[in-house]
Amino acid sequence: MSGQNDDDVRQLRQRMGEPAAEPTPSLIQQRMALDRQRNLAIIFLIVFGFNAAWWLARGTLDNGGVISWILASLFVIVVAMSVHSLLSARRKLRAFEAEHGPGAGKRS
């Protein structure tokens, strides 16, 4: 029964002229998404870089316990992930500009 209902829905959608795929975002929306990813990576890098430096200094200078070193290592991992995300966003932005032109999607 369910298979027939699916076929009926599919036929109804075809008759209604519903698009088969999702619409493609505009160039402005695509650039905004790339900029958002880049900006978020920069913010994470600054915030978690400061935290990593703080906990590394605290662990080194105060002869901090295991907790200081665990937190420092976790923050260093997040910083590494942020660097990866930033490089990925820059790579995607370069590919986007190579495909659509250097000023594509910029709002004036």
The DSSP result for 1-68, as a single string, is -HHHHHHHHHHHHHHHT--SSPPPPPHHHHHHHHHHHHHHHHHHHHHHHHHHHHHHHHHHHTT--HHH
Please check whether residue 50 lies inside any domain of the structure.
Answer: yes
Please check whether residue 1 lies inside any domain of the structure.
Answer: no
pLDDT at 28 over 80: yes
Please check whether residue 106 lies inside any domain of the structure.
Answer: no
pLDDT at 25 over 90: no
Domain that holds residue 57: 26-100
pLDDT at 17 over 70: no
Query: In terms of pLDDT, which residue wins out, 59 or 51?
Result: 51
Query: pTM for the full model?
Result: 0.70
Instruction: Please choose, from the candidates 68, 32, 41, 36, the residue with its C-alpha nearest in 3D space to the C-alpha of residue 52.
Output: 68
Q: What percent of the chain has pLDDT over 70?
A: 89
d(CA 70, CA 72): 5
pLDDT category at 80 given cuts 50, 70, 90 is very high
Number of domains in the chain: 1
Please check whether residue 49 lies inside any domain of the structure.
Answer: yes
